[in-house]
Structure 1
Amino acid sequence: MIVTRALTKRYGSVLAVDAVDLNVRDGDRYGFLGPNGSGKTTTVRMLLGLVFATSGEIELLGERMPRNAAEVLPRIGAMVEGPAAYPHLSGRRNLSLLDASGPGGSRRTRRARIEEALEQVGLAGIDRRPVKAYSLGMRQRLGLAAALLRKPRLLVLDEPTNGLDPKGIHEIRDLLIELNKAGTTVFLSSHLLSEVEHLCTRVGIVDRGRLVLEEELDTVRGATGLVEVRSPDAADVASMLNGQLVSRDGENLLIRHGDPAALNTTLVAAGLRIASITEQRRTLEQVVLEVTGAGSDRVDAP
């Protein structure tokens, strides 16, 4: 669905994107991650033809870009750097103008498609108030509705849950999963790593313009070799496994062991009560910090 080869963008002496090779497959829910200034938004803008690459190749939906943009872009829904809208017009009027301005939008089905998109993002009940009176979350939902108008095969989203409350984030996550199950590939950049963990199946991480990791999320979040145990008999567990005990906090213990099932069998056979036992896995936050060197945009005083 998205393939880049040595994709590079320079702004004068600044190398913003450095020979990036992306491979987003049909059916992926792909999280595009990295620190501020790492080249994420520049990469997304090049994919959509909003800026031209200095060098390298881009394929979207199997077609070379930007050569075939007129054919490809109508099959892609996108929201980049926040939703765009005429602030003095209503949400429905904005969607109607957007649909009419692009190729392939059927006037006959426009009203039905607008209502369906608004319902999908939770805006079915909006009135005629202008977009300038919308909350940030409502504007974000409207931007998503615009991206969904033509039932795209590929969704490219930049911070799609920005400004939403926890319930709204959950709703949009469920929507994107349902769209993906129905055949839409989802490519999104986000700073909300917990949301990416809940939503995405693959991740790509960029740092200082370079793609430093691209992998299945389950593979990235590999086991740490530690097991989390909660037991009313924590003191006895700690005594029995003293050489493997990493830490203890009340009933919660962290044990160095590679097989939770075998550990559970051993403890139960010893007559110890086990409330829960779970293999500890790396968080996505840990992975991002490891591969990006914990970069930051802080500017501290000398």
Structure 2
Amino acid sequence: MTAVIRTRGLVKRYGRLRAVDGIDLDVRAGDVYGFLGANGSGKTTTVRMLLGLVLPTAGEVELLGGRMPRAGRRVLPRVGALVEGPAHHGHLSGRANLGLIDAAGPGGSRRTRRARIDEVLEQVGLGGIDRRPVRAYSLGMRQRLGLAAALLRRPELLVLDEPTNGLDPQGIHEIRDLLLELNRGGTTVFLSSHLLAEVEQLCTRVGVLDRGRLVLQDELARLTAPTGATVVDTPAADRVRAVLDGRVLGVEGSRVVVRGTDPAEVNALLVGAGVPVTGLALQRPTLEEVVLAAAGTSADRVEAVR
């Protein structure tokens, strides 16, 4: 599959501090890639290097097949980005801000500018935007406007750094739906976040950054695949051990983990022996458990907001 973002041995040092330490990112066409890490783990520094905003100390960056930052003039018009919060002219309206951004970029048609601005404002939930200056917007409205700016050129690649910052739960849900819709239309999404629940519901692949190092990179479905065990919920956990002697892997309160990948078979054995069963499911690790295992104790700063 075509690589959309590729880094090799990417390093950024600030004095003695290695903010990014030799990472090899692999983001493929069609991915919704979740770039996870605690605050201060190096995510934003990495994103800025991808976009040519910061030069790496060592290593290589390829974006849409072009070597950055040399290929920036050719590549960046095909990329939409929202990094470290949107920057706007506070005294102007949101619509006026988007007009300036569009006029400043290469390849934008003046004839279709108004229609394109209307379209992206509608996409991000600001279709009824008025003439208020941006300085009067809430943080969530500013975040939506920043995303609208990233969408103006119908990009092949969206690079987003904490795009749901400042949004309420309804706003997060709306932006998630929008990103999934864009992805279905062919846009590759690279999403930097410290919110595990956001990534778990949205992304197809994940990379985990811990203190500047990429400690995990894989398909989300593979990382959270069934473990080969079944979880039984029952008020009679002690009786499960007696019926399924040798298959019980662990007991925690009313939850019993049993070796086996056929919940129906486990249920039949227990019910046949008169053991009450209130719930059955294949055991799967959560993304939180995967991240904690990969990144260790520092991952407790990555939020599992649900």
Residue matched to 1:117: 120
Identify which of 20, 23, 27 aligns with 1:20: 23
Residue matched to 2:256: 254
Q: Determine the C-alpha separation between the residues in 2 that align with 1:219 and 1:71.
A: 35
Residue matched to 2:150: 147
1:193-232 matches, within 5 Å, as 193-231=196-234
1:33-44 matches, within 5 Å, as 33-44=36-47
Shift of 1:245: 6.8
Q: Give me the identity figure in percent.
A: 66
Shift of 1:248: 5.5
Residue matched to 2:70: 67
Structure 2 vs 1, CA of residues 254 and 68 (structure 1 numbering), >3 Å: closer, same or farther? same
Q: Which runs of 5+ in 2 are unaligned?
A: 302-306
Q: Which runs of 5+ in 1 are unaligned?
A: none
Shift of 1:18: 1.4
Residue matched to 2:164: 161
Q: Determine the C-alpha separation between the residues in 2 that align with 1:125 and 1:192.
A: 29
The size of the alignment, in residue pairs, is 296
Amino acid at match of 2:226: A
Question: Structure 1 length as normaliser, TM-score?
Answer: 0.91
Shift of 1:15: 1.4
Kindly indicate whether residue 10 of structure 2 is the aligned counterpart of residue 10 of structure 1: no
Question: Structure 2 length as normaliser, TM-score?
Answer: 0.90
Residue matched to 2:85: 82
Q: CA RMSD in A?
A: 2.1
Kindly indicate whether residue 194 of structure 2 is the aligned counterpart of residue 191 of structure 1: yes
Q: Determine the C-alpha separation between the residues in 2 that align with 1:275 and 1:107.
A: 63
Amino acid at match of 1:99: D
Q: Determine the C-alpha separation between the residues in 2 that align with 1:286 and 1:236.
A: 29
Kindly indicate whether residue 97 of structure 2 is the aligned counterpart of residue 94 of structure 1: yes
Structure 2 vs 1, CA of residues 232 and 19 (structure 1 numbering), >3 Å: closer, same or farther? closer
Amino acid at match of 1:228: V
Q: Determine the C-alpha separation between the residues in 2 that align with 1:241 and 1:248.
A: 16
Q: Secondary structure at the match of 1:291?
A: helix
Contact 2:291 2:299 in 1 (8 A): no
Amino acid at match of 2:39: N
Q: Secondary structure at the match of 1:295?
A: helix
Shift of 1:240: 3.0
Contact 1:238 1:253 in 2 (8 A): no
Identify which of 285, 288, 296 aligns with 1:285: 288
Shift of 1:271: 5.4
Residue matched to 1:46: 49
Shift of 1:158: 0.5
Structure 2 vs 1, CA of residues 26 and 271 (structure 1 numbering), >3 Å: closer, same or farther? same
